[in-house]
Amino acid sequence: MENKVIKTGFCVSYDWHLLRYSLPRVYEHSDIICLAIDKNRKSWAGEPYKFDDKSFYEFVAQIDVDKKIIIYEDDFALPHLNSRQNCNRHRTLIAERMGKGGWHLQVDSDEYFLDFGGFVQYLKKLNPNPTGNEKAINICCPFITLYKKVTNGYIFVKYSSGILPEMIPIATNKPDYQRARQNGHFNHYSSFWVIHDSWARSEEELWYKINNWGHASEELEMKQRRLSYFNLWKAIDEYNCEYISNFHPAKSEIWPALEFVEAQNIQELLQNFQPPPFPLSKFQLFLKNNRNVARIRHLWSKLTK
């Protein structure tokens, strides 16, 4: 779309209420925002969910003072596709709706940028207005996952000094969603933190989520495995969380440790949370983001196998 450089899309679903925290953090610095929701109110796994249409549309009308939000309803739960495939298709259709060119960002409802304005400035320094014909690139952000809400605060994934956090592609100049936001494009790392309110749900909502999200057709495909991991989550609290390590369901070392922080709610957490220093220096980040260096490293790894 003409003159729309920062195009931000959301896959909206049963947890749309978390948009109350995520959407205001990106609204000002986005040129266009697409909220895409299944017209039949079904999950990617085809399961129906409750949805308060009245509250949702009232919220959108209240926040959209600049009339930059598109509400896009379609069938995002095709029965012949699994949950991951429906996830990929959902994201692809969002990108198509917002049109070629510009920076395409996808931020889920439960993802809260700590400095979205700074991230947008960073993107525009890399390329002030991509046409969509450049070399494909993803811009990744470090994520901190909220693992559980307990009485007096939150248990979150902790990254000690020097440990690279989970890096998730957020922006791209050429949308291509092969495994959620992952694809074969070159991944460029940035240091703009995102809080991921992924697991800090009620027991009922979390059980629904892990049975219906994209991962349900991958590392958590086996129901017994999902149940076992769910039971582990239920057992963790602010007193024993320090004893848990390397526990990500897909690749254990992605989540190396847990820590507790006091906060009564998400607003208080986002206001007071101090992320760890980004583990790569400016020079290390420069080397990491250099395509030629990456190519040499790739060739060297093949030669030394």
Across the chain, the runs of DSSP E, i.e. the strands, are: 6-12, 32-38, 69-74, 103-106, 111-113, 137-150, 153-158, 166-172, 186-189, 194-196, 257-262
Q: What is the CATH number of the domain that holds 111?
A: 3.90.550
Question: Does residue 162 sit within a domain?
Answer: no
Of the candidates 18, 12, 10, the residue with the CA atom closest to the CA atom of residue 149 = 18
Strand-pairing partners, residue 67, are: none
Of the candidates 84, 138, 113, 128, the residue with the CA atom closest to the CA atom of residue 24 = 113
Question: Does residue 231 sit within a domain?
Answer: no
Q: For residue 105, what are the domain limits?
A: 1-142+167-198+265-305
pLDDT in tens, 149-182: 999 999 999 998 888 999 999 999 999 999 999 9
Overall number of domains in the chain: 1
pLDDT in tens, 238-260: 999 999 999 988 888 999 999 99
Confidence of residue 213 (pLDDT cuts 50, 70, 90): low
Question: Does residue 220 sit within a domain?
Answer: no
- Contact residues for 46 (Cβ-Cβ < 8 A; gap 6+): 77, 79
10 Å CB burial of residue 214 (0-12, 13-18, 19+) is: buried
pTM: 0.92
